[in-house]
Amino acid sequence: MNGYSQVRIGGTGARSAVPVSGEMLHNRAYGWQSAGQMFSPTFMRHMHDYGTTPAQVAAVRSAHSMHASNNPKAYYKQRLTVEDVLASRIICKPLHLLDCCVETDNATAIIVTSADRARDGRHPRALIRGVAGRVCKPRIDMHYQAGPISTVAGRYAREILWPNSGVGPEDVDVTGSYDAFTFTTMLQLEDYGFCKKGEGGRYVSDGTIRLGGKRPNNTSGGHLCEGYTHGMNMVIENTRQLRGLVDDYCPQWQEGIHTYDYSEGKCRQVRDAEISMNLGWANPVTGSALIMRR
């Protein structure tokens, strides 16, 4: 992906001419051109319905920046506080600059094969337990017409994913959410059932998603800090987590030996990670998910 040097949402860099047609005829008339502009009504509605605060959601960026500081590959390694996020300028209410993901040129590669063939591989296997792909709300065109706009596709995907995988939210040790914005992480974790509807703000701000917490999220730093490849880098991160081979600043990480010291510039390996989940996002109406296990 060349999200920095070529097509950029901010309008700089080379862009192909895209004809305005279909739903875009409506969206652009109301200023809904960028992802932040299109998704912000969903975020605002959640704040209105449940009292969610920008400070609670800013904790997502703070946690992911902590994880990125222990990642040699991360684009942004500086640890940020909730106050840092809230002090950054507003891009599109309620999104501050630091609520938004990084734009990068980068690439990922994933090999999927049978479990039998994987036994002969150089690394320990990470087994796929269940998937839910391109699941949508009842209306894919204007999701505001079907159900609360603060509910996203994960609410429907979980009805496929959990039964097919044979596990539930409480069984998951580490998550990887599509964090195009801090709010997308919160909404997905909530609607996939990691907490009750309306409690997402508390879930992401009480330490649960940080390394050393109950269920760390985006241990590489995610889209907010590591790099942006439409969720695939978090699949790679969770694969490495399950293998015990996360590349961090532990002296012997290549042998799978970690200190589990999550202080600045050290480890980001989750201790005894057995089951991981990836939460994919296209927009509030569409999403995919993946469960893997060791």
pTM, full prediction? 0.92
Whether 97 contacts 89, CB under 8 Å: yes
pLDDT tens track, the chain, 294 positions: 777 777 655 454 455 455 667 777 777 777 777 888 889 999 999 999 999 999 999 999 999 999 999 999 999 999 999 999 999 999 999 999 999 999 888 888 999 999 999 999 888 999 999 999 999 988 777 667 777 889 999 999 999 999 999 999 999 999 999 999 999 999 999 999 999 999 999 999 999 999 999 999 999 999 999 999 889 999 999 999 999 999 999 999 999 899 999 987 799 999 999 999 999 998 889 999 999 999
Q: How many residues does the chain have?
A: 294
Measured CA to CA, the distance from residue 180 to residue 94 in angstroms comes to 14
Nearest residue to 237 (alpha-carbon basis) of 181, 293, 278:
278
Catalytic machinery residues: 178, 228
Beta-strand pair 286-293/127-136 = antiparallel
The sign of the dihedral angle between the CA atoms of 271, 272, 278, 279 is negative
User: What is each CA distance from 164 to 136, 272, 276, in whole angstroms?
Assistant: 18, 23, 15
Nearest residue to 223 (alpha-carbon basis) of 91, 86, 117, 106:
106
User: What is each CA distance from 119 to 123, 126, 127, 258, in whole angstroms?
Assistant: 9, 10, 11, 24
Token pair for 206: 């009480």
Location of structure tokens 């605002």: 44
